Chain A
Amino acid sequence: MSPNESFSQDRLVVGRSAKMRAVFEFVDVISRSDSTVLITGESGTGKEVIATLIHQTSRRKHRPFVAVSCALFSETLIESELFGHERGAFTGAIKDRAGRFELAEGGTLFLDDVDDVPRSMQVKLLRVLQNRTVERLGGTRLVPVNVRVLAGTKRDLRQMVADGSFREDLYYRLNVLPLTLPPLRERREDIPVLLDAFLDRFFRARGEPTPDISPAVVQAFADYSWPGNVRELENACERIAQTNTCGSVRVGCVAPHILFRALPAVSPEPEIRTAVVDAGPVSLDDRLKEVEASLIRWALDASHGNKSKAAALLQIKRSTLGDRIKHCGLGSRASATREEPFVEAP
């Protein structure tokens, strides 16, 4: 069976893009494995959905799937949540309680937001993953656990290891089978497919037939940047299903921020390289020229090549900008840009 067909419709893991097909193929390949999977992806890219899919395709599918967000709990609570506690371990611990590891016995435990696990807790997690035993808070007995661990992170753990905020040994323990979920903006061809699938689901939930979707709506969805990824698109579709009154999905059903997405935001100023890397002599003139050229490029990009706007951004006169462009040798680039704005043909 092909994984992208068998799960795409019912489980809403939808995607025809090359990047998603690669994800589905990877999930298929690792379905017979019991190794830890590290799922990296921005918020809303569907880490938990993929974790569920991995569980469902594994031999453990008839055993529990337990998902827990490590970001939800305070440093002290997370230990009790994951490993459980014995009665009297702390104030309010009135009875024995199994942790998520024990609850997932025989099945899969999805540790989402593993990048939010405090450093002090990371070592305890590492021990559990190595020894496959948990010790309840306040307990003395080691409980063996047979759990397949999946971890989710929105940040690049390797970078966090480099920063010193994530333990290297835990990173290697988690990063056995790495899986990266692409942000929606990197698989734009999936947007219409997701739009259809979600609208279908939400209208079905209302007991209504899915109405026609106008091409303008499809276009608006295709043009939007989706910073919140699939989750944002899902919510946009729910909104459409809840507010539609005319039996066909038109632009008026689309959330205003998607339809009238703000003008492209002015990108932040470029980083200026000021550090002196080697001990050799530095030409101040050359370095200043680099800085100047970099700022002019930024201003021209931010104003879409409009020199008057670029000059305003740099707080210099329009004529001065022309001189500076020549001075920095950016002539050919600047001449390819638009001269003046708002001059419409009569």
Chain B
Amino acid sequence: MVTRERVEAVLARVRPYLVADGGDIELLEIVGTSAVVKLSGMCATCPSAHMTLHLGVETALRDAIPEFGSLRVA
């Protein structure tokens, strides 16, 4: 089951790098097997960084939680 705790555990691994760069990733909600997050900081406004982070976080979530569906960036 995709729970807040499991998603947060994965985001916690990713977060230190983002925070160190003045950004963050915030879990807004879980919808079924998917999650909605919000990116902030400089990288949130860069198109290529946005894609990188979206894909990277989604892959990390799927690796850790096999039943994970998709990631939406609000």
Pairwise interchain contact B48-A251, C-beta atoms closer than 8 A: no
Q: How far is the CA of A246 from the CA of B23 in the complex (A)?
A: 14
Which range holds the interface residue count of chain A?
20 to 34
- On chain B, the number of residues with a Cβ less than 8 Å from chain A's Cβ atoms is 27
Pairwise interchain contact A260-B56, C-beta atoms closer than 8 A: yes
Quick one: which of B50-74 are within 8 Å of A by CB?
50, 52-53, 55-57, 59-60, 63-64
Chain B contact residues: helix, strand, loop or mixed = helix
The winner among B14, B46, B55, B56 for most chain A CB atoms within 10 A is B56
Q: How far is the CA of A252 from the CA of B56 in the complex (A)?
A: 10
Pairwise interchain contact B63-A263, C-beta atoms closer than 8 A: yes
Pairwise interchain contact A259-B42, C-beta atoms closer than 8 A: no
Q: How far is the CA of A221 from the CA of B50 in the complex (A)?
A: 19
Contact among A216, A244, A253 with B20 in the assembled complex (CB-CB below 8 Å): A216
Closest to B54 in A: A256
Question: A146: CB under 8 A from chain B?
Answer: no
Q: How far is the CA of A312 from the CA of B8 in the complex (A)?
A: 23
Question: B43: CB under 8 A from chain A?
Answer: yes
Pairwise interchain contact A250-B42, C-beta atoms closer than 8 A: yes
A46 vs chain B, min Cβ distance (A): 27
- Partner-B contacts on A (CB < 8 A): 214-217, 219-220, 243-246, 248, 250-257, 259-260, 262-263, 342
Would you mind naming 26 contact pairs between A and B with Cβ atoms under 8 Å apart? A216-B21, A219-B20, A220-B17, A243-B52, A244-B48, A245-B48, A246-B49, A251-B21, A251-B23, A252-B43, A252-B46, A252-B48, A252-B49, A252-B52, A253-B49, A254-B52, A255-B52, A256-B55, A257-B59, A259-B14, A259-B17, A259-B52, A260-B13, A260-B60, A263-B63, A342-B5
